[in-house]
């Protein structure tokens, strides 16, 4: 836990015309590294509204993130698509931009695919990828879990480095830790299970709330390392879980952007459909909650 990774699935700021705001994104990268102390950035993930970006925008977001990070922290680029060829195109673009690794979701138009089919999907991508691949299990977004046996089988692939699990299924997560090699990185993406997962041996988290609670996530890791389970428990059940429930209510991209804008980290912008902006009064309440912690 001393080397716990605290990574942020970074939002994609848009300006008032709903275009990607590259300057705001670069400023946000600085905020996350210098103010929140995060140890890695994940552009073009779920919180980054990956599904609402064009291919050109996705390339630009990764390029801006890498350039702004300037080697201070690694960049794991979201490259999800339903077609192997398109995933590999995104990987190639991310590699050209200088990203360090690629995050790949299961095909999100293949909910009835057999586990063997998904294993072939990921294995083919790993075989052809210019970057180390991380699997991304997020069944609410894609309609299916990555079968536990599939993750275990792929963990032996030379180019599959780890997994982010956002299922919220602690039994599934613990099994991945138990059944995969020690050098296979297992990240918790469900903020509500952050502290328990670290206690079970997770390598860290990739969590939206680190946009403004990076210090809290670091404190949980430090508390557990010091054997202060009560402090870790209090932070999980208090700050993290309360903020997590609020973000689940509004959606992680809208809620995170609302708080960041209220706090002056990014300009007041927008989200893209099907996301909806948080009403002004509720955005102010969210920002006030964060400020009080």
Compute the Cα dihedral for 282, 290, 23, 275 and give only its sign: negative
Place of tokens 């969210």: 286
Catalytic residue among 134, 136, 194, 217: 136
Asked if residue 274 has a cis previous peptide bond (ω within 30° of 0), the answer is yes
Catalytic residue among 108, 134, 164, 217: 164
Which uninterrupted H or E stretch holds 221?
A: helix 210-225
* CA dist., res. 133 & res. 158, Å (int): 10
Helix 241-250 and helix 280-292: axis angle, to 10°?
170
* CA dist., res. 200 & res. 141, Å (int): 26
154: Cα within 13 Å, side-chain hemisphere: 33
Assigned token pair, 89: 């195109």
* CA dist., res. 136 & res. 76, Å (int): 12
136 is catalytic: yes
257 is catalytic: no
| CA distances from residue 6 to 15, 54, 204, 228 in whole angstroms, order as listed | 28, 28, 6, 19
What positions carry a catalytic annotation?
Answer: 136, 164
């Amino acid at each position: 836990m001393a080397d716990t990774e605290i990574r942020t699935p970074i939002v994609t700021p848009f300006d008032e015309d709903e275009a990607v705001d590259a300057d705001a994104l670069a400023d946000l990268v600085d905020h996350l590294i210098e103010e929140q102390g995060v140890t890695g950035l994940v552009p073009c993930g779920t919180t980054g509204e990956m599904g609402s970006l064009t291919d050109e925008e996705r390339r630009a977001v990764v390029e801006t993130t890498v350039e702004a990070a300037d080697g201070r922290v690694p960049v794991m680029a979201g490259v999800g698509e339903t077609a192997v060829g398109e995933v590999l195109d995104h990987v190639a673009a991310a590699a050209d931009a200088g990203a360090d690794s690629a995050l790949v979701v299961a095909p999100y138009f293949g909910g009835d695919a057999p586990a063997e089919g998904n294993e072939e999907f990921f294995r083919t991508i790993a075989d052809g990828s210019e970057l180390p691949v991380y699997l991304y299990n997020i069944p609410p977004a894609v309609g299916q879990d990555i079968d536990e046996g599939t993750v275990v089988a792929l963990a032996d692939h030379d180019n599959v480095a780890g997994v982010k699990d956002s299922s919220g299924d602690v039994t599934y997560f613990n099994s991945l830790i138990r059944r995969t090699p020690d050098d296979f990185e297992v990240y918790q993406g469900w903020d509500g299970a952050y502290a328990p997962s670290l206690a079970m041996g997770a390598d860290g988290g990739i969590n939206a709330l680190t946009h403004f609670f990076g210090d809290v996530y670091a404190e949980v890791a430090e508390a557990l390392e010091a054997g202060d389970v009560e402090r870790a428990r209090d932070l999980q059940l208090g700050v993290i879980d309360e903020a997590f429930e609020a973000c689940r209510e509004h959606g992680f991209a809208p809620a995170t952007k609302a708080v960041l804008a209220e706090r002056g980290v990014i300009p007041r912008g927008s989200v893209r459909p099907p996301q909806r902006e948080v009403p002004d009064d509720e955005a102010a309440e969210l920002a006030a909650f964060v400020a009080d912690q």
